[in-house]
Structure 1
Amino acid sequence: MRSWWRVALGTICLLIGLWLVLDPFASMTVLLLSVVVGLALLGLGDLLGQDAGPRGLSTVAGLLWLAAAVAVLAWPGATVSVIAWLTGIVVVLQGAIAVVAGLRGRTPQRVSSVVLGVALLLIGTVALLWPDITIFVVALLLGGWLVVRGVSLLWRGLVRPSPAGAAPAGVGRAGVGPAGAGSTRAARNDQPRPPGRLRRLGTTAVAVLALVVAVLLTGVSAYLHSSKPTPDGFYAAPGSTAGQAPGTLLRTEPFTRDVPSDARAWRILYTTTRDEGITAVASAIVVIGRRAPAGPRPVIAWAHGTTGYAEDCAPSLVAHPFAAGATPALHEVVDNGWVMVATDYIGLGTQGPQPYLIGQGEARSVLDAVRAAHRMRELALADETVVWGHSQGGHAALWTGIIAPRYAPDVDIVGIAALAPASNLPALVSTVDTVTGGSIFASFVVQAYADTYPDVRFDDVVRPAARVQVREMAQRCLSGPEVYVSVVDALLLDKSIFRTDPTTGVIGRRLSANVPSGPIDAPLLIAQGASDTLVLPAAQDEYVQRRCAAGGRVDYRVYAGRDHVGLVAADSPLVPDLLRWTQDRLDGRPARSTCG
């Protein structure tokens, strides 16, 4: 390659490489464009510079990189998925080529070639295991590689290597004889000297560093994959459940994970129903204090906040079941002698889909958990039940109050406490993916609605460039370390995941249908954090105003300085208010209303 070509190509490689390394969280559009340019540069470097080893292997490597770049440009509608898989595959193939080149080589750099090849094989394999962030991994990989390639090309272009030694006058390099003899004419075009010691050391250092990074990535990937809990046989329905009444208790077993020392707990499996009236099964945790007074005890039906959408995100499965769904005042519930019945919802632990922010499905899970707990031989439960719910669970709590008189008249609901509820769904979904990490919650909504409603098509709702990320985010839980992969996804997404305004069209109509706007006969408390950036106070105000205007009675309380999770934290002023409000409901005292 001519020197000026080396300088030009080396400069471009260096600039693009530094951009990718120093700013890997650039917008998705810029990142994709940079990676495509990087693929093309690597291909040109191999084809023109013959840097990948033997000529044939170098040509193959160059063609692979160029093919990857061309393939991405050929399918603009599937850019993310194409570049994720294609570049991951090319990285694996490039690693294999580097290993072969090293094993076939006879230069001092053959060991570093093999080491680098093994590193690329590992990195490419890890990238393919995480298709939604393959583009990010490849960006860092290409960035580092382009920096090294750029420096190498600039060095060779600016510092022209000298011939491999000057022969004395009258002595040709091929042997003794006249300097102009035929054998020495060819010697005038001798190849440059083999790489110097400094360059060999630099190449080896880069290869070793790449291998260290690859091993670390492989270890992290293995940890993330192994850390996911898997539903065991407890969550499988025992034979056919068709025709069994909702709330039938199917299975119980003691539960000890994170249970207060002064309490006993069980996980239970019970029947419930889907929207189509089809029998389904769900699981729950039931907790009671060891020193609870004798006699039937009041029930707190807890509807947890968002833990994820996939089956392995059930609170009863994860390491910290009560922290996962932001359970408030568990110790106080135990101390007061109340019994907490905490559903996982259909589709968490048990077979999905989960009715995420789909009101009636969530509410039936809550009500049937209470019915099933009443059938436990280990407990004596009173009829009085107060429903608590936070975030997604607040939405479930509101719907529980709406459908209870018709669906479960045998469950005596004496109060509904909805804490930062996802009540105003159109307003929530229209803003949720504009806040940091909000696209993770948006992915749960889209996947749940697409899985539940035949008229909601995933590809109609999600823009093409975000589909891979959204599908993968929807399968990860919020409580496990894998959530950090979703955070990377959320940072890489430079704009809304939605193809069109989600408050319009089919999904907009479905969201509106799941707003908990029906009448609630039981006393209703709605609590909201004034600093909540996920469920916005203004949207909650609007929901409460509409409920009041419809003739409902609402005790609406706003807590200054409290964000979404901080509202239900142990030190929140809501906690003592919630406990007093609950005791008043159990004592039959009149409930106040803040409606005008």
Structure 2
Amino acid sequence: MYRKKSTGACMAVCASLGVLLAGPIAASPLDNPAVTVPDADPFYAVPGDIAGSANGTVLDSRPITASAGPVPLDAKAWQVKYKTTDHTGEATATVVTVLVPNTPWTGPGPRPLVSFQSAEDGVGLRCAPSLALRGGGLLGGAVSDVVTSVPQLLHTGWAVAVADYQGPDSLFTNAKMTAHGVLDGIRAARSFAPAGIDPNAPMGLTGYSGGGYASLIAAMYQPTYAPELDFAGLAYGGTGSDSREVYDTANGGPFGGGVPILFVAQSRAYPQAQLESHLDDTGRRIIAESQADCIFDGTARYPGLDFGKHLSTEGADKLESLMWQNSPLTQPGLPAQPVFYYHATGDELVPYSSGMSMVDRMCANGVRVEHLAIPGSEHLVEAARGIDYAIPYLADRFAGKVAPTTC
């Protein structure tokens, strides 16, 4: 069921990772004594009396100095804790980082607000973008795309909201928690008075890979979960339509060591499935070691891991079922705004064909989609430069230009 992939693409992956790591990225916030990790920071604690509060209600806030690597960002910034709901409908709380450029907005109309979904690829709060933005760019060993993308978004003059959308339990690739976390984070950012975001400000969504998943899922849930939010456009890339395909592709390949976090996330969200009972001894040890991992922790610890060897056929079927349940193709609704989607044809982590399945579905149902296929590239290269595609698209939507379509 889980076919082992060739590791021949590793040279391209490692080269891309090297490009990202060679940039202006500071030491991990875990090594910075001035920054407390979320697990030990009372600010992140979920209050016990919020069930009656509206989703998106601001519960607490604090100003921060946000940075990209060692360089402070030229913006006012706050961490804002807000009420949301998890995948079971239970009240919970998470954090959105709200950033507003220090330079006055000179464009027409109010300053736009962009919700940037970082690839929060991990199952520990040390992988949260709020920690990266406060601590300098590394997420406990994983490269944070906030380092490259948020500065560029701020440079346009736009306000930016970056939610820890996986919630306090770090429910990686959980569709409902992700959608609620993103949408309620935008609600909180708009109502947070110190940021001064105009209620009539145009809004957009963007993200890549795991952040693209979050952006797409949020757009699909928006018409029913947050109908008052009116997005001018969605720009995302490098995202699979079927999470099972991503798991299958990564397993045994250069990203194989990151596969256990997918298992941890599903096991944590759905304890009734008893997934760990289907592991062999080696599998149980790997999972025990992966409980707080960001994706590159695992890829470094278990390069080329074929995790499927440690999971029974019944366990694999259960895992696939849960991943399918949380895949974009199985979610209700469709984006209500125009969409721009970009994907490298040589993507070795997220199959190009998987991303196109969702494009085809949107096109078939009347969504205006512009699709960009990028030949001769792969996943991590586009992680670094994808925001260069997203910004012009969103700028045109904010300007009221008619969205192009390649459907």
* TM-score bin (small chain): 0.7 to 0.9
CA distance in 1, matches of 2:368, 2:310: 37
Distance in 2 separating the partners of 1:228 and 1:343 = 18
Distance 1:552 1:471, change over 3 A: farther
Which of 234, 241, 244 lines up with 1:426 in the alignment?
244
Q: Distance in 2 between matches of 1:463 and 1:548?
A: 43
Q: 1:537, CA displacement in angstroms?
A: 1.5
Verify the 8 A CA contact 2:275 2:319 in the aligned structure 1: no
Which amino acid in the other structure matches residue 234 of structure 1? F
Answer yes or no: is 1:583 the counterpart of 2:395.
yes
SS in 2 for 1:507: helix
Q: Which residue of 1 aligns with 2:328?
A: 516
Give the Cα separation in 1 of the matches to 2:404 and 2:278. 42
Residue identity matched to 1:418: Y
**SS of structure 2 residue aligned to 1:369:** helix
Partner of 2:222: 404
Secondary structure in structure 2 of the residue aligned to 1:533: coil
**Separation in structure 2 between the aligned mates of residue 489 and residue 381 of structure 1, nearest angstrom:** 45
Structure 1 residue ranges without an equivalent (≥5): 1-222
1:331 to 137, 148, 151: 151
Q: Partner letter of residue 436 of structure 1?
A: P
Look up the match of 1:320. Answer: 136
Give the superposition deviation at 1:544: 2.6
Structure 1 residue 507 corresponds to structure 2 residue 325: no
CA deviation after TM superposition for structure 1 residue 370, in Å: 0.9
TM (norm. structure 1) is 0.56
The alignment covers a number of residue pairs equal to 360
Flag the structure with higher helix content.
1
**1:269 aligned residue (58, 62, 81):** 81
**SS of the residue 1:467 aligns to:** helix
How far apart are the structure 1 equivalents of 2:321 and 2:306? 26
- Aligned runs of 1:148-163 on 2, under 5 Å? none
> Greater strand percent: which structure?
2
Change in Cα spacing, 1:449 to 1:261, as seen in structure 2 (3 Å) is closer
Q: Following TM superposition, by how much is the alpha carbon of 1:231 offset from its aligned partner in structure 2, in angstroms?
A: 3.5
* CA displacement at 1:322 relative to structure 2: 7.9
SS in 1 for 2:61: strand
Aligned: 1:391 with 2:205: no
Question: 1:70-111 CA distances to partner (integer Å, 9 max, x unpaired)?
Answer: xxxxxxxxxxxxxxxxxxxxxxxxxxxxxxxxxxxxxxxxxx
* Letter in structure 2 aligned against 1:343: A
Report the Cα offset of residue 470 of structure 1: 2.4
Counterparts of 1:557 and 1:499 in 2: how far apart (Å)? 39
Write the deviation string for residues 392-417 of structure 1: whole angstroms up to 9, x where unpaired: 11111111111101111121112111
Other-structure match for 1:85: none
Structure 2: distance between partners of 1:534 and 1:365: 25
Cα distance between partner residues in 1 of 2:313 and 2:357: 24
Q: What is the rounded CA distance, in whole Å, between the counterparts of 2:138 and 2:153 in structure 1? A: 13
What SS does the corresponding residue of 1:316 show, helix, strand or coil? helix
Task: Note closer, same or farther for the CA distance 1:471–1:552 as it changes in structure 2 (3 Å cut).
Answer: farther
Aligned to 2:7: none
Q: Which residue is 1:363 aligned to?
A: 179
Q: In 2, Cα distance between the equivalents of 1:500 and 1:561?
A: 36
Seq. identity, %: 26
Separation of aligned partners in 1, 2:309 and 2:300: 15
Q: TM-score, normalised by structure 2?
A: 0.80
What is the aligned partner in structure 2 of residue 101 from structure 1?
none
Q: Deviations over 1:200-240 (max 9, x none)?
A: xxxxxxxxxxxxxxxxxxxxxxx99x999344111113452
RMSD over aligned CA atoms reads 2.8
Counterpart of 1:567 in structure 2 is 382
Distance of 1:321 and 1:257 partners within structure 2 = 10
Q: How far apart are 1:344 and its partner, in Å?
A: 1.1
| Larger Rg over CA atoms | 1
The change in CA–CA distance for 1:580 and 1:447 in structure 2 (over 3 A counts) is: same
Asked whether the 8 Å contact 2:112–2:203 carries over to 1, the reply is yes
1:494 is displaced (CA, Å) by 7.8
Check 1:322–1:338 CA distance in 2 against 1; reply closer, same or farther (3 A cut): farther
Please list the CA deviations of residues 50-85 of structure 1 after superposition, one character each: whole Å capped at 9, or x if unmatched.
xxxxxxxxxxxxxxxxxxxxxxxxxxxxxxxxxxxx
Contact 1:244 1:271 (8 Å CA) reproduced: yes
Instruction: Tell me which residue corresponds to 1:446.
Output: 263
- Residue 554 of structure 1: which of 369, 376, 387 is its match? 369
1:556 positional shift: 1.4
Q: Is the 8 A contact 1:250 1:270 kept in 2?
A: yes
1:567 corresponds to which letter in structure 2? Answer: E
Sort the Cα spacing of 1:580 and 1:464 in 2 relative to 1 into closer, same or farther, 3 A: same
2:353 is the counterpart of 1:534? no
SS in 2 for 1:398: helix
Task: For residue 343 of structure 2, give the secondary structure of its aligned residue in structure 1.
Answer: strand
Separation of aligned partners in 2, 1:360 and 1:321: 27
Letter in 2 for 1:447: V
> Could you tell me how far apart the structure 1 residues matched to 2:225 and 2:155 are?
31
Contact 2:175 2:217 in 1 (8 A): yes
Match in the other structure for 1:377: 193
**Which residue number in structure 1 is paired with residue 57 of structure 2?**
248
1:386/1:413 contact within 8 Å kept: yes
Measured in 2, the distance between the counterparts of 1:397 and 1:303 equals 6
Q: CA offsets per residue over residues 328-368 of structure 1, 9 Å max, x none?
A: 54233222221110001243xxx31x231111210111111
1: CA distance, partners of 2:324 / 2:36: 34
Q: Provide the secondary structure at the position in 2 that maps to 1:301.
A: strand
Cα distance in 1 for partners of 2:350, 2:397 equals 26
CA distance in 2, matches of 1:525, 1:418: 6
- Corresponding residue number in structure 2 for 1:279: 91
Q: Which range moves more in the overlay, 354-363 or 492-501?
A: 492-501
**Deviation at 1:565?**
2.2
For residues 360 and 240 of structure 1, what CA distance do their matches in structure 2 show?
22
Partner of 2:294: 477
Q: Measured at CA, do residues 514 and 232 of structure 1 come closer, stay the same or move farther in structure 2, by a change above 3 Å?
A: same
Q: Deviations over 1:288-327 (max 9, x none)?
A: 1101327742111011113421123212224334884313
Q: Give the secondary structure class of the aligned counterpart of 2:353.
A: helix
Distance in 1 between the 2:187 and 2:310 partners?
A: 39
1:549-590 Cα distance to aligned partner (Å, 9 max, x none): 455432111222332221132xx3x44432110011112222
Using the TM superposition, give the Cα deviation of residue 277 of structure 1 relative to its aligned residue in structure 2, in angstroms: 1.7
Match of 1:216 in 2: none
Q: In structure 2, what is the equivalent of residue 465 of structure 1?
A: 282
Distance 1:291 1:474, change over 3 A: same
